[in-house]
Amino acid sequence: MLSILLVCWNQSAATRNCLARLVAAAPEVPHEIVVVDNGSADDTAAMIRRDFPQVRLVGAGANLGFAGGANLAARHAQGDTLLFLNNDTLPLEGAIDALHAFAGARPEAMLWGGRTVRADGRVNPTESLATPSLWGSLCVGLGLSGSFPHSRLLNPEGYGGWARDTVREVGALSGCFLMIRASLFAALGGFDTRYFLYGEDVDLNLRARALGARPSFTPTATIQHNGGASSHPEDMWTYLLSAKIELVRRHLGPVRGGLAAHAFLTGAWLRARAFALLSRVHPRFADRRRTWEIVWQRRCLWWGGVISSPLAELLPHR
């Protein structure tokens, strides 16, 4: 059996849409749906109990972050295969069955993922990545990857130029649409809960690769992912920088990891300065100026590495 696992926190409408799609266009493979509610303050839990009685709802009682919530969902799963699916996604017709079939055809991969598209149909290239490297981190940290997304040289982490239209082994698959055998997930100890938000999926992929896994991507399984709905931009970047710095320090070693971490630090400073100047020229840059001013002011939080707690606990006067 396949266990489809979701984690939610204060996104009742998104969770409803995702579950409605899963129920209306149910996969043909025998499956169950397990949802962990990370202590939502809205009506998420009540909505699931009322509208989706076939779903197994697990109350975490607190915000455990994605990693903690996903691990809790896995402990309640009964399937031999797990599919981690973000609650702000909409699986397209046949996507889950296609991914399950792909897993059966390529068992040596051990982790499997599909294509994600945005609401306007554009492919999201950030959810299947190369393994962290010093050059890739320099390109991401200094903004070269974002400026030249189609360049294989300047966007190596994002596989610049690859249209996500072919089967391919990748460095890491996104946790928003990730299939893995329950036995391997248990052997890895699940997601590392030190990553409260972001980075836990890349870390899991890298640890699985150390055991011989070859994470693989297929374009035949496609979901729509409306990411970032639960975060303010400054919060997203605070978590993301902390995760990236932790990943490079942990997986690239003290010298290359240290240089890569400083690339992210320098990039944050450059963005804060650049948008401060640009906002004086045109008001459309004002929001990004504010975002990066806040991110830079928070560097004492993310420069130390991974953030393991909700930002609300670390920023009580926000």
Q: Quote the number of domains for the chain.
A: 2
User: How many Å apart are CA 139 and CA 158, to the nearest integer?
Assistant: 10
Structural domain of 80: 2-125+162-225
Per-residue pLDDT band for 112 (boundaries 50, 70, 90) equals: very high
| Residues 100 and 246 occupy one common structural domain | no
The per-residue pLDDT for 312 is 85
Among 225, 241, 258, give the residue marking a domain's end.
225
Do residue 257 and residue 301 come from a single domain? yes
CA distances from 65 to 17, 169, 245, 269 (A): 21, 28, 18, 27
The model's pLDDT over 47-67, given as tens digits with 9 standing for 90+, comes to: 999 999 999 999 999 999 999
Cβ-proximal residues to 122 (8 Å cutoff; 6+ apart), any chain? none
Note whether 305 and 181 are same-domain residues.
no
Q: Give the pLDDT confidence of 242-269 residue by residue, as tens digits.
A: 999 999 999 999 999 999 999 999 999 9
Q: Which of 199, 225, 251 is the last residue of a domain?
A: 225
pLDDT higher than 80, residue 314:
yes
Distance from C-alpha of 179 to C-alpha of 27, rounded to nearest angstrom: 14
Using pLDDT thresholds of 50, 70 and 90, give the confidence band for residue 126.
Answer: confident
Q: In this structure, are 166 and 307 located in the same domain? A: no
Residues 193 and 287 reside in one and the same domain: no
How much is the pLDDT for 231?
61
Residues 9-59 have pLDDT tens digits of 999 999 999 999 999 989 999 999 999 999 999 999 999 999 999 999 999
| CATH code of the domain containing 98 | 3.90.550.10
- pLDDT over threshold 60, residue 230: no
Residues 194-209: b if buried by 16+ CB within 10 A, e if exposed? bbbbbbbbbbbbbbbb
Read off the pLDDT band of 145 (50, 70, 90): very high
For residues 76 and 218, membership in a common domain is answered with: yes
Residue 157 inside a domain? The answer is: no
Are residue 240 and residue 203 in the same domain, yes or no? no
Give the domain-ending residue among 225, 249, 266. 225
- Is residue 216 situated within a structural domain? yes
Checking if the pLDDT of 182 tops 60, the result is yes
Rounded Cα–Cα distance for residues 203 and 86 (Å)? 17
Angle between helix 286-297 and 254-281 (nearest 10):
140
Distance CA 224, CA 19 (A): 13
Residue 134 lies in a domain: no
pTM: 0.94
Same-domain pairing of 105 and 182:
yes
Residue 135 lies in a domain: no
Same domain? For 56 and 98 the reply is yes
Q: Which residues lie closer than 8 Å to 133 by C-beta, 6 or more apart?
A: 156, 157, 252
Q: Are residues 244 and 299 in the same domain?
A: yes
* Torsion 11-16-17-23 (CA) sign: positive
Contact 218, 116 (CB under 8 A): no
Residues 266 and 238 in one domain: yes
